[in-house]
Structure 1
Amino acid sequence: MSLASRAFRFGVNMLAVDSSASWEGRARHVEQLGFDVLLVPDHLGIPSPWPALATAAAATERLRVGPFVLNAAFTNPVLLARDVATVDQLSDGRVELGLGTGYVKEEFEAAGIEFPTAGRRVDHLGDTVARVTSLLSAPEHTPRPVQGRVPLLLGGNGDRVLRMAAEHADIVGFTAARTGRKGDLEPLSATDFDERVAFARDAAGARSGDVEWNLLMQIVVVTDDPRRIAEENIAKWELPMSPEEFLDLPSVLIGSAADIAARLVELRKRTGISYLTVLEPVLEQFAPVIGLLRDIDR
């Protein structure tokens, strides 16, 4: 059965800010390459999301902006609602709010914040979602967002987060990875990933067709020799898998632009995933794929 219903949409996770001129120019370049959303992750050691997003929105015309994703444990829901509404006003209604539990223990320690159990972090994420969405929808809350509802993305891999996302979010973000004991991300096999998607779609029930499904791609390489690239990455990361298994990982796109586009079309048919996020270093490589997929959706 084909699940393809939504047109493709493309986001890019930006990782560094150096000067206002450079950042504004890069934001405009992202827009010119055909991306739909400029995103900033929430980790210590890289730029603070909201100032960077407001500046990017001011430098562009149609580009939507959002954190991908905010660590809910690092923010107060009342202050977060104020930030979201303010940047939504400054961007003329182009904000998308991404939230997650946070998973890097060292960042909690560096910030002087307790690192709770996974269950308590999910509880806190649920409380944050409920409070922020309530505030943003309340007529008496000021500042008011431009959008009647600021799109909410919840990202994760575990049952509770995916169920929460499926039931309450506008966008469900898959990581195609599980969190290891040391806070590192371990890639999911294609079989395990398909099970996660099926779980989330089942949890969404009647909402499934209204939800937008997103996947973060960790590796994108446009090449005529995918096996060589796979072997290099397996050696680099010391992964216990064959090149064929590596190339089949859901968060990996290696091949010609046409092959990658075909794989994403098949992914959309099989899972309903239509919103793809890539990392800033592969902007230029991924742009031809965007063009091919736009042609398919015309």
Structure 2
Amino acid sequence: MVLPFRFGVNMMAPTSRASWIEKCRHAENLGYDVIGVPDHLGLPAPFPALMLAADVTTRPRLNTFVLNTPFYNPVLLARDVAGLDQLTDGRIELGLGAGYVQAEFEAAGIPFPSARERIDHLEQTVITLRRLFTDPEYKPQPAQPSGPPLLLAGWGDRMLRLAAERADVIAFTGGGTADSGKITLADVATTAKKTDHVRSLLGTRAEKVEFNLLVQGLAGPNERDALLQWISANLPFDFADAAEDIPTMLVGTPNDMAETLRARREQFGFNYITVLEHNMEKFAPLIEVLHGE
């Protein structure tokens, strides 16, 4: 079963209230289905940013993409998520990740857990949220029954297994991460192994769970070399001359890119496409072409 496309944009730039309102409304006018906010120090604070986005838009859903879950106590996080969902009339999608940038933990004065400990904490957080949100006595009650849809993001086998068991949306980070924060982007063959494996884990849930692709870069016909130079630190050396073989990159005309996304949905199952804020305008023509498909 092929799920229809939907499109999100991750807002990355801290700014004034007026500018934030303007760009959230602009994202809605461009046709984006989801406005997301990541959770990194130096970027917008997710909960207040999404609350304001809800106030000034009507159609897009709102997503934490993704919370650095080890920063949060699960019970306190449940209160904030439920409250945000309640006050936005059920427009929230909750995105969670295990965290991977050691410097951010150090800056916050939080001990940096091992990868296993971070995923253990994430799993316990998911269990806690589900338990509280399905309790009819829990307050505040989220607007959406059982709480907001859950997006889990990752690339490692244990993280993807957890996502296959628990998530409504699985966001593939598109490559391996290091504690430094560096992502090494994967090629088509590696991505296919990951998505095929997760699909096998999903079993009967496979037709209901969305696969998300976070696009790292877009390049028009004359911008390919500049894109490769910009993202070269994240490329495996073998693929420095093969931008088209990296699923998190789109190259060509809008029609070329649209055709690429159709092919990637067919091969990998990616129907939910997210771009970074600096590519919001450049990606918009693809929304017009692909919406409804």
TM-score normalized by structure 2?
0.95
Cα separation, partners in 2 of 1:261 and 1:146, compared to 1, 3 Å: same
Deviation, structure 1 residue 213: 0.8
SS across alignment from 2:237? coil
Match of residue 96, structure 2, among 78, 96, 99: 99
Match of residue 21, structure 2, among 16, 24, 37: 24
State the alpha-carbon separation in 1 of the partners of residues 180 and 56 from structure 2.
Answer: 39
State the alpha-carbon separation in 2 of the partners of residues 253 and 219 from structure 1.
Answer: 6
1:260 aligns with 257
> Percent sequence identity over matched residues?
47
Deviation, structure 1 residue 35: 0.3
Cα separation, partners in 2 of 1:15 and 1:235, compared to 1, 3 Å: closer
Match of residue 215, structure 1, among 208, 213, 216: 213
CA RMSD of aligned residues (A): 1.7
Q: Is the 8 A contact 2:103 2:180 kept in 1?
A: no
Paired AA for residue 9 in structure 1: R
More deviation in 53-62 or 233-242?
Answer: 233-242
Q: Give a deviation string over 1:156-204, Cα, whole Å, max 9, x none.
A: 0001110110111100000111013533111111111111111111111
Q: Is the 8 A contact 2:182 2:234 kept in 1?
A: no
State the alpha-carbon separation in 2 of the partners of residues 233 and 34 from structure 1.
Answer: 27
Unmatched 5+ stretches in structure 2: none
2:180 aligns with 182
State the alpha-carbon separation in 2 of the partners of residues 62 and 87 from structure 1.
Answer: 16
1:292 aligns with 289
Match of residue 119, structure 1, among 116, 120, 125: 116
Cα separation, partners in 2 of 1:48 and 1:269, compared to 1, 3 Å: same
Q: Give a deviation string over 1:140-163, Cα, whole Å, max 9, x none.
A: 111111111310000000011101
Q: Give a deviation string over 1:23-70, Cα, whole Å, max 9, x none.
A: 111111100000000000001111210000000011000111011000
State the alpha-carbon separation in 1 of the partners of residues 101 and 179 from structure 2.
Answer: 10
Q: How does 1:6-45 map to 2 (within 5 A)?
A: 6-45=3-42
Q: Is the 8 A contact 1:230 1:243 kept in 2?
A: no
SS across alignment from 1:68? strand
2:78 aligns with 81
Cα separation, partners in 2 of 1:28 and 1:227, compared to 1, 3 Å: closer
1:135 aligns with 132
Q: Is the 8 A contact 1:67 1:98 kept in 2?
A: yes
State the alpha-carbon separation in 2 of the partners of residues 264 and 134 from structure 1.
Answer: 37
Deviation, structure 1 residue 248: 1.4
State the alpha-carbon separation in 1 of the partners of residues 57 and 247 from structure 2.
Answer: 31
1:71 aligns with 68
State the alpha-carbon separation in 2 of the partners of residues 218 and 128 from structure 1.
Answer: 28
Match of residue 172, structure 1, among 156, 170, 173: 170
Paired AA for residue 102 in structure 1: G
2:192 aligns with 194
Paired AA for residue 249 in structure 1: I
Deviation, structure 1 residue 85: 1.2
State the alpha-carbon separation in 1 of the partners of residues 88 and 174 from structure 2.
Answer: 31
Match of residue 246, structure 1, among 228, 243, 247: 243
Q: Is the 8 A contact 1:176 1:187 kept in 2?
A: yes
State the alpha-carbon separation in 1 of the partners of residues 46 and 228 from structure 2.
Answer: 35
1:269 aligns with 266
Q: Is the 8 A contact 2:174 2:185 kept in 1?
A: yes
State the alpha-carbon separation in 2 of the partners of residues 236 and 161 from structure 1.
Answer: 24
More deviation in 173-182 or 207-216?
Answer: 173-182
Q: Is the 8 A contact 1:230 1:247 kept in 2?
A: no
Cα separation, partners in 2 of 1:181 and 1:50, compared to 1, 3 Å: closer
Q: Is the 8 A contact 1:70 1:98 kept in 2?
A: yes
TM-score normalized by structure 1?
0.93
